[in-house]
Amino acid sequence: MNIFYASKLDVGSDEYKMDDSEWHHCHKVMRLGMNDAIHFFTGDGTLRYGKIVSANKNFGTVSMTEIIREEPYPTRKGIAIAPTKNMSRIEWMVEKGVEIGVTDFIFFQSQHSERTHLKQDRLQKILLSAVKQSLKLFLPSILVDLSFEEVLYLDGFDAKYIAHCKEDTVPILSVLEGQKPNLVLIGPEGDFSNEEINLARKNGLVSVSLGNTRLRTETAGLMAGHFMVIANEYNFNSNEQ
């Protein structure tokens, strides 16, 4: 199945003009042209079927005939993480995170951060490729270069957790409320500073532990994602009043 991403499709429209890298991939790489059938996802939960009705080097037009699959937006499961020095470690975390169902990737500066800047474009490509590969219909969101404070005040999450290896943490599954939009903060290799942990506590974040083992940053990020997925699918801590 050839699936393409329609980033600019108007709701209700039944024609779509492809003139971006997806058209390049469709026409040049996959060698699809006039009358070929393709599938589109719009990143907002629908998978559509269409046929190419015009094709040239620079753009193609697709006539959309029907919606094949439609899904409600999943409960948000966000990872906010301090980027590692080695970019490939971040990239695989994004790829695997998409696969398991993480909906938000947020990269921020921590006091012990090893890297100060991330290229959003490159991560966005990896994201899109992982979304297609795993047949998801929603495009997770990526935010880069936030400050620690900006993460603390981020909207859209009912509960925020900070995972660290210092004292006074609770096991993450004992507190994660699976049916709510959750965000877990993951520190850099040198962990969060005491100052950051205190600031997080003052802002209502719960200090959690991801388990008994020492994890690399990117592994911690992925496992935090998996804990949120599990809490959601197995309906953890949802009856607490």
Which residues of this chain interact with a second copy, rule CB under 8 A? 92, 96, 99-101, 133-136, 171, 173, 211-216, 219, 222-223, 226-227, 229-230, 233-234
CB of 202 to a second copy, least distance (A): 29
Cα separation, 110 vs 192, in Å, equals: 7
Q: Least distance from C-beta 32 to a second copy, angstroms?
A: 23
Instruction: For a second copy, give the closer residue by CB, 23 or 227.
Output: 227
Mark 67-93 as b/e (b = at least 16 C-beta within 10 Å): eeeeeeebbbbbbbbbbbeeeeebbeb
Residue nearer to a second copy on the CB measure, 103 or 113: 103
Nearer to a second copy, 88 or 239 (CB): 88
Helix%, strand%, coil% for the chain, nearest 5? 30, 30, 40
> Which C-beta is closer to a second copy: that of 109 or that of 207?
207
Instruction: Provide the minimum distance between the beta carbon of 67 and a second copy in the complex, in angstroms, as a whole number.
Output: 20
- The minimum distance between CB 213 and a second copy, in angstroms, equals 5
- Asked if 203 and 162 touch (Cβ cutoff 8 Å), the reply is no
Cβ closest to a second copy, residue 63 vs residue 235? 235
Phi, psi values for residue 131, rounded to 5°:
-65, -45
Nearer to a second copy among residue 142 and residue 215 (C-beta): 215
Cα separation, 62 vs 216, in Å, equals 45
Q: In what order do the strands lie in the sheet with 159-163?
A: 141-147, 104-109, 77-81, 182-186, 159-163, 206-209, 170-171
Find the shortest distance in angstroms from Cβ 221 to a second copy: 11
Of 133, 203, 210, 118, residue with least CA distance to 166: 210
Question: Rounded distance, CA 80 to CA 184, Å?
Answer: 6
Closest contact distance (angstroms) between CB of 88 and a second copy is 10
